Structure 1
Amino acid sequence: MIFELIKSFILGIVQGITEWLPVSSTGHMLLVDEFLKLDFPKDFTDMFFVVIQFGSILAVLVLYFDKLNPFSKHKNEKQKRQTWALWEKVIIACIPAGVVGILFDDLIHDLLYGPIVIAIALIVYGILFIVLENSHPTPTTTSLEKLSFKKAFCVGMFQMLSLIPGTSRSGSTILGAVFLGCERSVAAEFSFFLAIPVMLGASGLKMIKYGLNYTGEQVAVMLIGTVTAFIVSVFVIRFLMSYIRKHDFKVFGYYRIVLGILVLLYFGLIAK
């Protein structure tokens, strides 16, 4: 059992790092799983990769609790209304991915979850990040309060693209938000908040599908992965927000391209 707990710990680290950086947690999990396969049935492993995202979500809720809390005693009435409006924008933006995900989750998993699709998505989105940053877009939305409901929904349309494995949920939403004129910090924060209902829903759906019948070892593995993902996510979110105040997203674009090529080479040549 100790080896499975160590594997869970490592996977939690990978999840915590890659969930918030626009580099595709799915692509990284695919590679790590090749070398650190959990010794459990495939259904449980698939569910584990989704459920440990709950730890990442807790990090957002802890770090942004006051900003997301419409009942905060530190806010005046105007600020409370703005917080409710923020949640309304989040819900509106989650509709496209939520509907498509519920209707076509199994189909997407069966048809698209493979190393080739993931590698292509990594490379394509990496190129898009570089092209977008080279175009030097001038931000027109410089705060979450200035983010319109229409623009929030459009960001949600980009989030729908993240159902394709390898695109990265944060990558899709950040890329879309910057393309639509959002300042980088606004794009990143809104991406964090969009993850709350999306990932909570995905985790719950996977757990229900699995049947909630876990052994003690499986519960321990999930807890280790989730707690690790939470701790790592706290540091990664703080790092990203600090980084983008002075830098653009091009470095993530180059990284995605290199990773995509490595995935193609490994699964096209070595893994055979």
Structure 2
Amino acid sequence: MPSIGLGVFQTPPHETRTAVEAALATGYRHVDTAAAYGNEREVGDALRAAGMARDEVFIETKIWISDYGYNQTLHGFEKSAAKLGVDRIDLLILHQALPSAFEKTLQAYRALESLLDQGKVRAIGVSNFMVDHLTALLEKATVVPAVNQIELHPYFQQRAVQTFGAEHGILTQAWSPIGGITFYRNGSHGSTLEDPVIGGIARAHGKSPAQVMLRWHLQRGRSVIPKSTKPHRIAENFDVFDFDLTGSELAAIDALDTDQRGGPEPTEITLESFGREIPEA
């Protein structure tokens, strides 16, 4: 899996195709989408328009909680694959744990294991799983999740989840890797892009704050899926392979953690509050 992918969370369908096309032209070979984003079809359109061989681009998508349960998740795969226009998905993950109905989560993961066994997916994983969710899953699973995609940026680092993942061979993948808009909704923090520590490091390297944060993730061994619809930002986010942060610079960014989550609290995800129908292909 390429270490940097283009994320398309909250990208409107009509903007998704051009964003993915711009990313592929820049050099990205990894796209992250989800059934709940409502733009899988447009991701597939962009991939076909690019004219690349199927194996050239790593496609990652997610099953939404409304499609949890063994048979429902198998059908969720079929819906996503049809919208993407592919026979095989490179990485298929569960979008959230369902703490109040964890048996459905386990059934959904068992379906992912079946899809992996059948060769319909190349790898399986989870998203927004906390340590207790991962612990309960590993007690039943036959395949360790390849990836746990979580909110992770300098102001919210989820170190316990990262450590647990590393101990069990689960790669941490960061969504909102430069501190997305959800983090600032209560107005109690400024933007990571304006953080003086990050800004100073950026000036020292002749890079942007966003590039510094993405480089921090990569040097800490994480995968990242920055989101943008602007071609120049998409290109900027990919231009992070020609410099290295020092140990002291990495430590300075590590020290910015506030332990304050910006996205939904994973322990509070329920079908009643977050369930939505995922349309057929």
TM-score (norm: length of structure 2): 0.27
Greater share of strand:
2
TM-score (norm: length of structure 1): 0.28
Greater share of helix:
1
